[in-house]
Structure 1
Amino acid sequence: MRSLPLACAVALAAATLVPALPVQAAATPSLQITRIWYNSPGSPDFGANSSLNGEYIQVKNTTRRAVSLKGWTIRDETRRSDHVYTFGAFTLGAGKTVTLRTGKGRNTATTRYWGRSGGTLAYIWNQTRDTGYLRDPRGKLVDSCSYNSSRVEYVNCV
Structure 2
Amino acid sequence: MYHAIVKRRVRALFAAVSQGDAEPVLRQFAPRFEHRCLGDSALGGVRRSLAATRAWYRRLYRLMPDIGFTLEDIAVAGGPWHTIVTATWEERNSGTDGVETRNRGIHVLTLRWGRATALLICPDTAGLTATLDRLAAAGVAEAKAAPILD
Under a length normalisation based on structure 2, what TM-score does the superposition of the two structures give? 0.26
Q: Please identify which structure carries the higher strand content.
A: 2
Q: Greater Rg, structure 1 or structure 2?
A: 1
